[in-house]
């Protein structure tokens, strides 16, 4: 079994009833009814919710101008009243703000930062630059407006509210690689730090100073509404750039709306991915219930995750301890 330790990561304090959450819109414009419903969900759990000044702004396909969205981010990071920063939705626009973000106040006073999709680049940037653990998980308007249920809620309670030491999920036995349980495309056992998020956002950082450092880490990838050939193209780009060479492990989450047909009439996207990633020498798990889909198991960027194909196990860690 391979184990890679944490590199001085800082775990933010969990949320407690009475804490105040900032809700921001650094990407696409927001539906007001969905945002209000998501805020009610958080208030029913005992939290105070405060919107950024420009949450409901609109500037073309963005939730306000770059200046407005950046001001909301920096204001929330600097405001000591907030115990967490949540986001209304994804879309596009977060990468445009990265050069102007002041991470100093967030590093000095760690808070929970939770989001996914377009927020992928911000979460990985925060963890890389400050050591603060960030969280891939549901957003206020696009997800919490419908409430959180099942494993999404369980992982939210474990990771964000600190109600348990982590969460582990056993896959059911089924057809898979030799010696592995269902879901594993490559066998192996490893515990290493988690990084990643939306595949297209990881690919978009290529050649920039925000490109994540992935060597020795377990990479999580998910995507939405991209046909198989585009998934192929982005994974090929990461492979040819050498980003996947030193991975300790790979978790592929939901590929919602990405099609099931592989190029050349292959049997399906899972088989295609097994072929495409055949050069990897690390455990690979396919179909983790997180990303653009109904289930969004909360993932801690910067903390260890365990992959164990012999037991069909994917285990997340909170506070450095394995949850049962």
Our answer to whether residue 295 is catalytic in this structure is no
Q: Among the options 117, 142, 145, 309, which is catalytic? A: 117
Round to whole Å and give the CA distance between 99 and 96. 7
Report the C-alpha gap between 236 and 88 in whole angstroms. Answer: 32
User: Residue 142, exposed/middle/buried by CB under 10 A (0-12, 13-18, 19+)?
Assistant: buried
142, 292, 309, 317: the catalytic one is 292
| CA–CA separation, 24 and 16 (whole Å) | 20
Q: In 178-229, which ranges are E strands?
A: 184-186, 189-198, 218-224
Q: How many Å apart are CA 194 and CA 305, to the nearest integer? A: 6
Q: Annotated catalytic, 32?
A: no
Q: Residue 236, Cβ neighbours under 10 Å: how many?
A: 12
Please, which residues have CB within 8 angstroms of residue 14's CB and are 6 or more apart in sequence? 112, 160, 161, 162, 163
Alpha carbon distance 73, 63 (integer Å): 12
Q: Which of 222, 290, 309, 317 is catalytic?
A: 222
| CA gap 79, 40 in Å, rounded | 22
Q: How many CA atoms lie within 13 A of 219 on its CB side?
A: 25
Indicate left, alpha or beta for 13 from its phi (over 0: left) and psi (-120 to 50: alpha).
beta
Task: Copy the structure tokens of residue 197.
Answer: 């998020």
Q: Which residue has the tokens 């929330």?
A: 76
Round to whole Å and give the CA distance between 296 and 150. 10
Active site residue 59: no
User: Vertex 47, ends 42 and 52: CA angle to 5°?
Assistant: 80
Angle formed by the axes of helices 269-276 and 228-240, to 10°? 20
Catalytic amino acids?
A: 117, 222, 292
């Amino acid at each position: 079994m391979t184990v890679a330790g944490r590199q001085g990561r800082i775990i933010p304090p969990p949320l407690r009833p009475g804490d105040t959450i900032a809700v921001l819109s650094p990407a696409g414009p927001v539906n007001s009814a969905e945002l209000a419903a998501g805020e009610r969900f958080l208030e029913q759990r005992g939290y105070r919710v405060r919107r950024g000044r420009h949450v409901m702004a609109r500037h073309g396909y963005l939730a306000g101008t770059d200046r407005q969205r950046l001001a909301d981010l920096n204001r929330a990071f600097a405001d000591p009243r907030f115990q967490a920063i949540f986001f209304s939705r994804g879309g596009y626009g977060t990468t445009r703000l990265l050069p102007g973000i002041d991470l100093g106040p967030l590093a000095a006073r760690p808070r929970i930062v939770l989001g996914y999709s377009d927020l992928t680049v911000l979460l990985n940037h925060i963890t890389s630059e400050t050591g603060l653990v960030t969280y891939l998980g549901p957003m206020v308007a696009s997800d919490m407006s419908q409430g959180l249920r099942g494993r999404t809620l369980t992982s939210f309670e474990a990771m964000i509210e600190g109600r348990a030491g982590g969460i582990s999920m056993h896959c059911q036995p089924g057809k898979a690689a030799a010696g592995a349980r269902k879901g594993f495309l490559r066998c192996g056992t490893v515990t290493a730090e988690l990084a990643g998020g939306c595949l297209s956002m990881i690919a978009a950082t290529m050649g920039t100073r925000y490109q994540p450092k992935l060597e020795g880490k377990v990479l999580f990838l998910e995507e939405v509404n991209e046909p198989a050939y585009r998934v192929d193209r982005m994974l090929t780009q990461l492979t040819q750039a050498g980003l996947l060479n030193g991975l300790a492990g790979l978790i592929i989450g939901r590929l919602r709306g990405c099609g099931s047909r592989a190029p050349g009439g292959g049997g399906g996207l899972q088989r295609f991915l097994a072929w495409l990633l055949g050069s990897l020498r690390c455990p690979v798990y396919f179909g983790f219930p997180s990303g653009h889909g109904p289930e969004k198991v909360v993932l801690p960027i910067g903390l260890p995750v365990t992959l164990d194909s012999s037991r069909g196990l994917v285990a997340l860690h909170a506070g450095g301890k394995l949850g049962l």
